[in-house]
Amino acid sequence: MRPLRVAVLVLLMAAAGALPTLAAVRMDATAADAAAYAVALRTPIFGTEATLADDAPTRVDLGNSASATPLLRAERAPVALWRAAQHYRISSEMTAFSRDWPQPHCLAIRVDGVEVFSSSQQPLIPASVQKLITAAALLAVVDPDERFATRVLTDSSISEGVLDGTVWVVGGGDPLIMTQSYSDSHSRQPQLRTPIEDLADDLVGLGITTLAGKLIADESRYDNTRFPETWPQRYVTQLHSGPLSALSLNDGITGFTTALTASEHPARSFVSTLGDLLAVRGVSVDVEIDAAPAPGGMTEIARLESPLLIEIIQQMLRESDNTTAELMLREIGLRSAGEGSTASGAAAAARITSEMLSDQSPPTVFDGSGLDRQNRVTCSFLAALLDELGTDSAVAAGLPLASRTGTLSHRFAQHPAAGRLRAKTGLLTGVNALAGFVETDTGMVTFAQILNGVPEGSRIGLELQEALVGQLLRYPVGDAAALRGLTSAGL
């Protein structure tokens, strides 16, 4: 045991020798500051002088020090010290910076996968930042390259251009089926959509000139509850989301030229519009419209496929699409528990993301969009979830880009964060939230901020977000910044 005790003693002495360096490096030190202190500390603790290549393995050979790469060198300390100093700086500055924010609030900041600041572990109302949880849970149960399919089935056949029988249109959960006119009515263009006109064209392409019999809507993939049952009636009246259906057209909206009008039966509206589109294309349409699940054994004659699932997720995040989020929550429930309902999806989303981040306090999930004020999550959870998804992920690429796309297209235009901030926004009465990635000059900072208790009608929440992002842009981050500083100093 004696050699082990000696080794431990030497290690402790080495650590103690680094303390003066730690004291000397200011808490707001840069890599160059740390490198300057390292220049005078070039004596190896173990082994001899050697060049440390980036990819060279560290070797320890106490019996033949002449051939050993040093295990401990004092000039290695500045990298770790620089990192610790930067983390301390962020923590100190953010503590003061966030002290007077509206209460309750939380802020979490992560650098290189490590949380360097958290103002609170209290779960708060996240508003639309909740969609990050929906996106992560959905990707855990589906293939991102999958497409939703809306299928047309029949028990009859086409004879001399006539299809006389029963035709079912079976909804596959695609949230983005739209007419051209509805897509054009959105202020931000272009809109990602699945054109229902393509389905009409395909049916005409089969040689159908007359459609008779029954045209039946099948929305049985999900339950037919039109809105989450926990929502207040004003959300329904104000149409924060369209009525939900597995066979949805135009977000379940039938009137949109002057004021929005919701369909009382979205699936019936779908097949009715399909009949109208066929008529416009010269098909004689004389059908009875109904709604019912399709029986087995029917023949598929056409299908309409959605964009890739990952593109739908990106659209949901970029545009903060509440209807898409709620339908995707039902898809999570269907894939996870065999039940396409809001309650099933919410339970599954909470469980899935909690298992992804077992060291974090689990979220409370009531819906997919974040409209429900019973949703709760910590900033630490959101920031960790963003890191888990990754800065180079398709999800990150789908986040709104400051002054460029989605819900951030009109914000940060004259701000240094323009083009450098990707983040999910959240806004409810009394709630402002922002969570995403900030690209600094040397790397990425991951953050999540939730403000509850924002005075109604006040811009203070938005102003604090702009100030926060500006502060985060100032920080050099990552070992790369430190190592560049050490390299430039000749170490």
Domain boundaries, the chain: 2-84, 87-131+314-323+352-480, 147-308
pTM across the whole model: 0.83
Per-residue pLDDT for 133 more than 90? yes
Q: What share of the chain is helix, strand, coil (3-state, %, to 5)?
A: 40, 20, 40
Calculate ∠ Cα 366-370-373, nearest 5°.
65
* Token output for 429: 């009465």
Q: What CATH architecture does domain 87-131+314-323+352-480 belong to? A: 3-Layer(aba) Sandwich (3.40)
CA pair distance 181, 348, nearest whole angstrom: 36
Nearest in space to 434 (alpha carbons), one of 422, 444, 425? 425
CA pair distance 222, 21, nearest whole angstrom: 63
- The reported pLDDT for the residue numbered 126 is 98
List C-alpha distances in Å: 142 to 155, 219, 308, 315: 31, 20, 11, 17
Question: Are the C-beta atoms of residues 270 and 292 closer than 8 Å to each other?
Answer: no
pLDDT tens, residue by residue, 161-189: 999 999 999 999 999 999 999 999 998 99
Q: What is the DSSP string of 46-87?
A: SS------TTPPP---TT-GGGPPPS-BGGGHHHHHHHHHHH
* Token output for 321: 């699409």
How would you class 473 by CB atoms within 10 Å of its CB: exposed for 0-12, middle for 13-18, buried for 19 or more? middle
Q: Mean pLDDT across the stretch 251-261?
A: 87
Annotation: CATH topology of 147-308: D-tyrosyl-trna(Tyr) Deacylase; Chain: A; (3.50.80)
107 three-class SS: strand
- The reported pLDDT for the residue numbered 257 is 75
Q: Mean pLDDT across the stretch 431-460?
A: 95
CA pair distance 118, 361, nearest whole angstrom: 13
pLDDT tens, residue by residue, 20-71: 444 434 444 444 444 443 444 333 333 333 333 333 333 333 344 444 444 4
- The reported pLDDT for the residue numbered 478 is 62
